[in-house]
């Protein structure tokens, strides 16, 4: 990739992102679209950027920073504090949507490991898109927003558990068991470090000058990712646990402030680079999977909103609002597909199918989800004119 | 009777408080993790769409909060104001220009001896003094922050304007 190619890429990313944001959409589908347009596959309008070691590397950094931030925000205390909706709503969501996702996966790939990957991709909604839209559409004051955020928090934690599995699972029983043991040891060590070394690490970091503070945090994240990768776990696990270790360090907010922009830039490249490998001409093969997954998502997510809402004391209309906020899929679906694409236990053809599926599914659901959120109140009034009390 | 305030954590966003004042409107305050505040006012508690949404930066929110709390502490705009502290009050008093205290230390002025109040801070454009000491100097244009009982502030103003009457 040359500098001028990079310049054009950034210009396209910026322009499409801006257009999306003007329409109240998330930037994630815009970045994917940019990758599809500039990439080498169909549509072959502009074949500016070839996937290369450079794009792979930048995308890897994006993945690392996305997961590092997820780890930073991780806290069992917060999970407990956010109250009653988490357990009930989160469990209902996992059961229904991972279940429906698995059915879609089995329909597409048969009862294989690839089906499990599809289940995870369909299960996990986009926190980034939902939170942005809740703020944009002024829904934060609504009571059902508590339910949405609680479910998203549950999903974040569930997906952290799935990352390693999707990246390295699916081999023989012995290798899977070996990887699982290694992953558990690594996560256990990181959790112990977070608990007993977190505060000390925070004090050492706080003492550094700004320049070295940034460098030290950066180095720590990359080192943890590298160690995890060398252990043949996934760099995703390493980055996630780097975040977890630093989440209790007392310098979390400072880290977030300093690295927000780094994350956003590299995350944009991550989505872009991922989309370079999406081949739209495969719409014929994967189109029906995408449609099936969309239908499952609409039924599953809105259904969970209504059912969990009802159990949590909300009206049906509030439940529809909550469910609509969960339709958009984004960063996690892409991350899972990217990790699956690097998993040698999956057949090469299946990996390509998963990448094409995930990209197109995110494009469609992110757009549909945001439109649905915008219109959910009107939709609720149409479906439940009496206010939804029964 | 204090309003019932419902607090909810919004994971990944911040904290939300909501209350329903006697007027029947519903007021929701959201404090984002980055310090931004949003205030939503629903005209009736059951309304779906807010009638008013106010977005405030951290400093603006504090200013509004101080205003609503009746403790507006910007003496440059509101030169003198009272804040109830049980039986005591804190008061901001502007030093009139040409006052005899200009250039004198707090010890020289003898506020405590003459009026019974204590000067706790001196507010000045260039640099304010918190925790004022006896040898701190008062200048023209300063605002002094004093603690005392209700009746004593009149004496302080008189002392500033007219000088000591005890011949010292």
- What value, to the nearest 5°, has the Cα angle with vertex A363 and ends A358 and A369? 110
| pLDDT on residue B126 | 77
On whether residue A27 sits in a domain, the answer given is: no
| pLDDT on residue A327 | 95
| pLDDT on residue A389 | 46
Average pLDDT in the B59-69 region? Answer: 83
- Name the residue ranges covered by the structural domains of chain B: 6-69, 82-162
Which among A100-104, B13-17, B88-92 has the top mean pLDDT?
A100-104
On whether residue A371 sits in a domain, the answer given is: yes
- Give the minimum alpha-carbon distance from B127 to chain A in angstroms, rounded to a whole number: 28
On whether residue A170 sits in a domain, the answer given is: yes
Q: Is B93 in contact with B82 (CB distance < 8 Å)?
A: no
A386 versus A295: the higher-pLDDT residue is: A295
pLDDT at B79 over 50: no
pLDDT grade for A128, boundaries at 50, 70 and 90: confident
In chain A, how many domains are there?
1
Please say whether the dihedral angle defined by the alpha carbons of residues A151, A156, A161 and A165, taken in this order, is positive or negative: positive
Q: Tell me which residue of B150, B137, B80 sits closest to B109, measured CA to CA.
A: B137
The interface predicted TM-score (ipTM) is 0.70
Could you say which architecture CATH assigns to the domain B82-162?
2-Layer Sandwich (3.30)
Average pLDDT in the A200-215 region? Answer: 88
Kindly list the residues from chain B whose CB atom is less than 8 angstroms away from the CB atom of residue A149: 10-13
Range of the structural domain that residue A85 is part of: 60-266+294-383
To probe the interface with B, which of A126, A128, A141 has the most B CB atoms within 10 Å? A141
pLDDT grade for B77, boundaries at 50, 70 and 90: very low
Average pLDDT in the A292-303 region? Answer: 95
Among the partner residues B9, B12, B38, nearest to A131 by beta-carbon distance: B12
What does the pLDDT look like over A37-80, one tens digit per residue?
898 877 777 778 888 888 889 999 999 999 999 888 876 666 66
| pLDDT on residue A249 | 82
| pLDDT on residue A13 | 93
Kindly list the residues from chain B whose CB atom is less than 8 angstroms away from the CB atom of residue A73: 12
A154: nearest CA in chain B?
A: B11
Average pLDDT in the A149-164 region? Answer: 85
> Do you find a cis peptide bond into B163, omega within 30 degrees of 0?
no
| pLDDT on residue A80 | 66
CATH number for the domain harbouring residue A87: 1.20.1530
pLDDT at B75 over 70: no
| pLDDT on residue B38 | 93
Average pLDDT in the A305-327 region? Answer: 91
Residues of chain B in Cβ contact (below 8 Å) with chain A = 8-13, 16, 18, 26, 28, 30, 38, 40, 42, 48-50, 53
CB atoms within 10 A of CB A384: 18
Kindly list the residues from chain B whose CB atom is less than 8 angstroms away from the CB atom of residue A130: none
pTM equals: 0.76
Averaged pLDDT score across all residues of chain A: 87
Average pLDDT in the A268-280 region? Answer: 90
pLDDT at A219 over 60: yes
Query: Would you list the DSSP string of A260-307?
Result: HHHHHHHHHHHHHHHHHT--GGGHHHHHHHHHHHHHHHHHHHHHHHHH
| pLDDT on residue A75 | 67
Q: Is A180 in contact with B41 (CB distance < 8 Å)?
A: no
Q: Residue A337 and residue A333: Cα distance in Å, rounded?
A: 6
pLDDT grade for B71, boundaries at 50, 70 and 90: low
pLDDT at B85 over 70: no
Q: Tell me which residue of A361, A349, A354, A362 sits closest to A337, measured CA to CA.
A: A354
| pLDDT on residue B76 | 47
pLDDT at B70 over 80: no
pLDDT at B40 over 90: yes
pLDDT grade for B78, boundaries at 50, 70 and 90: very low
Verify whether the Cβ–Cβ distance B10 to A141 is below 8 Å.
no
Average pLDDT in the A275-295 region? Answer: 90
Average pLDDT in the A19-45 region? Answer: 86
pLDDT at B165 over 50: yes
pLDDT at B159 over 80: yes
On whether residue A334 sits in a domain, the answer given is: yes
What does the pLDDT look like over A77-101, one tens digit per residue?
666 666 667 788 899 999 999 999 9
| Structure tokens, A47 | 């074949």
B84 versus A229: the higher-pLDDT residue is: A229
Q: Residue B59 and residue B77: Cα distance in Å, rounded?
A: 16
| pLDDT on residue A78 | 64
On whether residue A47 sits in a domain, the answer given is: no
């Amino acid at each position: 990739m040359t500098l001028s190619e990079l310049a054009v890429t950034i210009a396209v990313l910026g322009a499409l992102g801006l257009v999306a944001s003007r329409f109240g959409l998330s930037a994630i589908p815009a970045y994917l679209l940019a990758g599809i347009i500039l990439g080498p596959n169909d549509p072959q309008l502009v074949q500016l950027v070839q996937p290369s070691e450079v794009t792979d590397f930048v995308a890897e950094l994006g993945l690392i920073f996305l997961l590092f931030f997820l780890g930073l925000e991780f806290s069992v205390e917060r999970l407990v504090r956010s109250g009653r909706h988490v357990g009930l709503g989160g469990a209902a969501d996992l059961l229904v949507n991972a279940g429906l996702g698995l059915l879609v996966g089995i329909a597409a790939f048969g009862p294989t490991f690839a089906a499990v990957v599809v289940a995870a991709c369909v299960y996990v909604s986009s926190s980034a898109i939902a939170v942005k839209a809740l703020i944009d559409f002024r829904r934060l004051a609504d009571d059902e927003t508590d339910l949405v955020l609680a479910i998203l928090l549950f999903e974040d934690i569930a997906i952290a558990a799935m990352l390693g599995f999707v990246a390295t699972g699916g081999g023989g029983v012995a290798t899977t068991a070996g990887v699982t043991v290694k992953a558990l040891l690594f996560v256990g060590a990181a959790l112990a470090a977070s608990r007993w070394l977190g505060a000390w690490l925070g004090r050492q970091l706080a003492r550094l000058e700004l320049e070295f503070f940034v460098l030290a945090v950066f180095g720590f994240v990359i080192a943890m990712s590298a160690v995890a990768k060398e252990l043949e776990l996934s760099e995703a696990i390493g980055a996630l646990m780097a975040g977890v270790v630093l989440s209790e360090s007392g310098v979390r907010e400072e880290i977030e402030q300093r690295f927000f922009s780094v994350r956003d830039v590299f995350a944009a490249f991550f989505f872009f680079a991922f989309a370079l490998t999406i081949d739209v001409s495969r719409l014929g093969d994967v189109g029906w999977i995408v449609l099936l997954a969309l239908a499952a998502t609409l039924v599953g997510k809105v259904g969970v909103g209504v059912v969990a809402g009802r159990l949590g004391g909300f009206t049906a209309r509030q439940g529809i609002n909550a469910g609509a906020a969960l339709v958009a899929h984004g960063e996690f679906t892409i991350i899972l597909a990217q990790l699956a694409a690097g998993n040698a236990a999956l057949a090469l053809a299946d990996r390509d199918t998963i990448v094409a599926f995930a990209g197109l599914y995110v494009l469609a659901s992110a757009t549909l989800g945001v439109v649905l959120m915008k219109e959910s109140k009107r939709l609720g009034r149409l479906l439940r004119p009496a206010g939804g009390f029964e | 009777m204090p309003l019932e305030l419902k607090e909810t954590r919004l994971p990944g966003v911040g904290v939300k408080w909501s209350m329903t004042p006697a007027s029947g409107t519903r007021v929701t305050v959201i404090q984002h993790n980055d310090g931004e505040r949003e205030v939503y006012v629903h005209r009736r508690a059951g309304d779906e769409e807010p009638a008013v949404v106010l977005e405030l930066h951290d400093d603006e929110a504090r200013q509004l909060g101080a205003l609503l709390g009746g403790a507006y502490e910007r003496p440059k705009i509101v030169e003198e104001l009272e804040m109830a502290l049980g039986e005591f009050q804190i008061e901001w008093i502007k030093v009139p220009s040409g006052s005899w205290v200009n250039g004198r230390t707090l010890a020289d002025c003898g506020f405590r001896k003459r009026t019974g109040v204590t000067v706790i801070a001196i507010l000045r454009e260039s640099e304010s003094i918190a925790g004022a000491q006896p040898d701190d100097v008062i200048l023209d244009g300063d605002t002094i922050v004093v603690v005392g009982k209700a009746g004593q502030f009149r004496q302080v103003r008189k002392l500033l304007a007219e000088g000591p009457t005890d011949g010292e």
